[in-house]
Amino acid sequence: MRSRSLLRPLLTLATTAALASGALALAPLGQAATPSAAPATADPVGLNAPYEYLGWGSPQKPTDVMAATGVKQFTLAFMLSDGGCNPKWDGTRALTGGSDQSAINGIRGAGGDVVVSFGGWSGNKLGEKCSSASALAGAYQKVVDAYRLKAIDIDIESTEVSDAAVRQRVIGALKTVRDANPGLREYVTFGTTPSGPDSDGFDLIRKGAAAGLAVDGWTIMPFDFGSHSGSMGSVTTAAADGLKNAVAKAYGYDSATAYRHIGISSMNGRTDEADETVSTGDFTTIYNYATAHHLARLTFWAVNRDRPCASGSSAGDSCSGIGQSAYAFTKVVAKYHG
């Protein structure tokens, strides 16, 4: 699966442009702003938090998105390795004191909150660079402490998810962090086939259950299938049913409980596959399914793309490639309450 492979550069000139325009403000020179405390939000953090990547795709100012859509949460991407077992934004930007922290402070100041997403398709992954589960847990914990987080997302893809030892390391680290932070919500996000998780995904879930790790939302990315039949709305719900069955079997949950421990992370508009499109109608189908089954999480990749392309432009990091109104997908996520 090529999940997001074309949409995840480590760093682009968009960040520079955003900084120059003032969309992302740095802390005053020589002064590291203190991370703001996480406010109390009506929904569990992560339930309805669309992805935004502040180092890619001409990112919108999060507080402007909040004002335009009513969304209160964001899943901010990506926390990576600096080459060792040390977390940095995109593997290059300081954990605190920079533009990412300023964005988080702004979101919280406007009454919202954030999930920090570790991993993604490209770049150096902490799951691979940290040599043990305890070391990886320390890296996760460093970010939790820096931002007083209520939720984290492990977006495990590419070489990170395909390595059995790394899968076990991630599960062990998440168990340690969960035990040390009662109430912290943990989401694990990975690719899928049209009928549910592939062998790596099944193994990840089984390892979690065997470790006694109660993940809040095992989340699939139902796109970049290569081929499928039916609409993207229908294939997404079929894949989610497959995920529900896998989680129910591994944990011994009944169906209703299993649904409450899974999530969907779709992609808006044209995906990495040239002939694969998630329309606003498909996304409404996904929303209705999530609402009917009370899923633990409904999100998508990404706010950066949640706008129509300029005339003559194609889908990419800053537009969806379909006819849509600005923030059409974000507005759907904002009204999801489990």
Q: What is the pTM of this model?
A: 0.90
Q: Comparing C-alpha atoms, which of 245, 243, 235 is closest to residue 267? A: 235
Kindly list the structural domains of the chain, giving each domain's residue range(s) and its CATH number in brackets, ordered by start. 42-334 (3.20.20.80)
Length of the chain: 338
pLDDT band for position 283 (50/70/90)? very high
Q: Which of these ranges, 6-10, 60-64, 98-102, 177-181, has the smallest mean pLDDT?
A: 6-10
4 vs 332, higher pLDDT: 332
Tell me which residues are annotated as active site: 157
> What residue type is 27 in one-letter code?
A
pLDDT band for position 49 (50/70/90)? very high
Are 189 and 153 spatial neighbours (Cβ–Cβ below 8 Å)? yes
Query: In this predicted structure, what is the pLDDT of residue 4?
Result: 46
Range with top average pLDDT, 2-11, 31-40, 58-67, 224-233:
58-67
Rg (CA), the chain: 18
Query: In this predicted structure, what is the pLDDT of residue 37?
Result: 64
Q: Which of these ranges, 37-51, 55-69, 174-188, has the smallest mean pLDDT?
A: 37-51
| Three-state SS annotation for 267-288 | ECEECCCCCCEECHHHHHHHHH
pLDDT band for position 313 (50/70/90)? confident
Structure tokens at 208: 């979690």
Rounded to an integer, what distance in angstroms lies between the CA atom of residue 49 and that of residue 187? 12
Residue range 160-205, pLDDT digits in tens: 999 999 999 999 999 999 999 999 999 999 999 999 999 999 999 9
pLDDT over 70, % of the chain: 88
